[in-house]
Copies of this chain bind each other. A is one copy, B any other.
Amino acid sequence: MQTFIFKNQPRIVATGTIAGPKECAGVVGKYVDKTLLDDMYGESTYEKAECKMLTYAISRAMENAGVEEKDVDMLISGDLLNQIISASFAARDFDFPFLGVYGACSTLAESYALAAALINAGYVKKVVAATGSHFSSAERQYRYPLELGNTRPPQSQWTVTGAGGAFIADTGSSIAITSATFGKVVDFGITDVNNMGAAMAPAACDTLLQHLRDTGRNADYYDLILTGDLGALGSRILKDLVWEKGVDIQSNHVDCGEIVYNVIEDEFQGGSGAGCCAVVFNSYIYDKLKKREINRVLLAATGALLSTVSSAQGESIPCICHAVAIENV
């Protein structure tokens, strides 16, 4: 069985979120803890701004939970930058152990799954799990210098500038992580780095179907099946792929990338990046869980595990999806 069941139901006690001006013009605007007016966040480089956002999200999750640094047993974090420097440099500011993970844009779900697994087993009681991304650092690392003014193809997505995380503990809230499914790497041979949604949708399909098989649940068990950043096109592909396998998620599937921006104009297929579901889940969706407007969410975050080197060497894009079931209990 690929799915871990957490009988002790670790709780998401509080979240911490921060996002850039473009993101906060959208649906998450009134839910995030901090809205940036300037996405440089007072720093001299994009990378430092990204790290500062992640540090803020970690600190804010602790603050919103009413806990101090000394109370936290571990930080689980990763990000998109080479050698996950945002996470590592953020971890430097905190006096607790750090477990670095990499799952590209699936990092939030991977972190939450691991946090829940370690808490459920009794190794630790209090964990912060967080991730983030920055449009400008991602563009210059993965694509082109912004100054080049490249046009963007219609399948492209816009990396979310933002960070989000949660304080997860053995007790302290009604919102629990009840199970998690770690995904397999799936590669359908897509080589177009501007079409991540199409590359990642098969991974989401694989993990979603596995999760339903393992738990014996139907898709409609969940009020919401929330993917991370498939975007509009990828989300449609996922719906079709699971439909072919006899599973209908037409009415309860939403993709964070698809909803994060109000106006689909420059962003084409919507948002992407590790920060995408980190901001959307931890602000807008978490608020709905707290208010019990929804009670059962499957957060299935996908990641494209490529690098500029692998693409330059002609490789296709291996993808992964990790899923965590988050429920009011």
Q: What residues of chain A have their CB less than 8 Å away from a CB belonging to chain B? A: 2, 4, 44-45, 47-48, 74, 78, 80-85, 88-89, 91-92, 94-104, 110, 114, 117-118, 120-121, 123, 141, 181-185, 187, 305-310, 313, 315, 318, 320
How many angstroms from the CA of A101 to the CA of B44 in the assembled complex? 29
Task: Beyond the given A48-B313, A74-B182, A84-B305, please list 11 additional residue pairs across the A-B interface where CB-CB is below 8 A.
Answer: A47-B313, A81-B307, A83-B307, A85-B305, A88-B320, A91-B320, A92-B185, A96-B184, A101-B101, A117-B117, A121-B123
- Expressed in whole angstroms, the Cα–Cα distance for A191 and B120 within the complex equals 39
Given contacts A100-B101, A100-B103, A318-B89, contact A82 B183 (CB under 8 A): no
Distance from A318 Cβ to chain B, minimum over Cβ atoms (Å): 4
CB distance from A179 to the nearest CB of B (A): 11
Stoichiometry, copies per complex:
2
Residues of B within 8 A of A121 (CB): 117, 120-121, 123
Residue contact B4 to A310, C-beta cutoff 8 Å: no
11 contacts between A and B (CB under 8 A): A47-B309, A78-B102, A82-B83, A83-B104, A83-B305, A85-B309, A88-B318, A89-B310, A94-B185, A96-B184, A97-B182
Shortest C-beta distance, A205 to chain B (Å), equals: 15
7 nearest A-B pairs in the assembled complex, by CB-CB distance: A121-B121, A88-B305, A83-B307, A97-B182, A82-B82, A100-B102, A91-B185
A263 to chain B, nearest CB (A): 30
Within the complex, what minimum Cβ distance (angstroms) separates A193 from chain B? 12
Separation in Å of the A88 CB from the closest CB of chain B? 4
Q: Shortest beta-carbon distance, A83 to chain B, in Å? A: 4
CB-defined contacts of A95 to chain B, threshold 8 Å: 184
A318 and B92 contact, Cβ closer than 8 Å, known pairs A48-B313, A123-B117: yes
Among A110, A182, A187: residue with most chain B CB under 10 A: A182
